[in-house]
Amino acid sequence: EEKIEIAMKHLVPKQLKEHGLKSSQLKFSRKAIAKIVNGYTRESGVRNLERNIGAVVRGAAKSVAMEEKYDVTVTEDTVVKMLKAEIFDDELYQGNDIAGVVTGLAWTQVGGEILFVESSLSKGKGGLTISGQLGDVMKESAVAALSYLKSNAERLDIDSRAFQQYDLHIHVPAGAVPKDGPSAGITMFTSLASIFTQRKVKAKTAMTGEITLRGKVLPVGGIKEKILAAKRSGIKEIILSIKNKRDIDEIEERYVKGLVFHFVETVDDVLRIALLREKVKDPLHFSFTDQRVSMLN
């Protein structure tokens, strides 16, 4: 939104002047600017935004000079026609029909993004695989989430034999992009709780927060950018640490309008909100040997 305001008030008038056009000869809709911001110019500044606006203005200036017909109002379609295929594509919320798939929120140098944490189980001997080009801190979050789940298995109605007789794979898609940081902790925990219980995750819900071995949810950064990413992606509810409430309170109303925020202190609070009692459509039916192995071994 801030970049859109900068573009409408400063960059567009500047480019019109540099190319000899009047404001009556070319107008940019807000949606057109948003299209350039989100689809072509993921960056911390506005250099590429101005460059792409300039490319659209040059196209119109050429049409004016050659007395050709052109669209006076630049729309999203005009942007695509002038700048060709989008460079960036927003991830969209993908539903809650598969156990172990949970939507998280991430911060990057060029803004917020949603990410998906996927967990799957297969018959085995309790192995753990973590993939998706994750950094050490993110891997540690996965291990912490699994440790807490194991220590609270009975309370969560999870048969402890599942941890020894099934192999667990945790994956965060877009493997070509390095990922790190602790903010996916509660997302990973919810993913694990879902896969081991085969319960659905609440629809159109995303989350961000660090997890401790005691099940506490700690605050994380980049909240405004994450909120904007959630809105772009169709998310309706967001789970955050209670200590992040002050960050939400500082964000302008227009950015948070239409979103429901849940502020939590523990991962138990997270599950009460995010994990439904309903099972997924085609749940995994666990099969175990008769022997029960102590989780303390």
Helices 185-197 and 136-151 pack at an angle, to 10 degrees, of 40
Instruction: Please name the helix (run of DSSP H) or strand (run of DSSP E) that holds residue 237, with its range, or none.
Output: strand 237-241
Q: How far apart are CA 103 and CA 235, in angstroms?
A: 9
Closest CA to 28 of 74, 63, 61: 74
Among this protein's residues, is 147 annotated catalytic? no
Which of 183, 191, 194, 233 is catalytic? The answer is 183
Which of 3, 200, 226, 233 is catalytic? The answer is 226
Closest CA to 198 of 291, 288, 278: 278
Helices 76-83 and 30-40 pack at an angle, to 10 degrees, of 40
Q: Which residue has the tokens 């022997």?
A: 291
Among this protein's residues, is 226 annotated catalytic? yes
Q: Helix, strand, coil % (nearest 5) of the chain?
A: 40, 20, 40
Enzyme catalytic residues: 183, 226
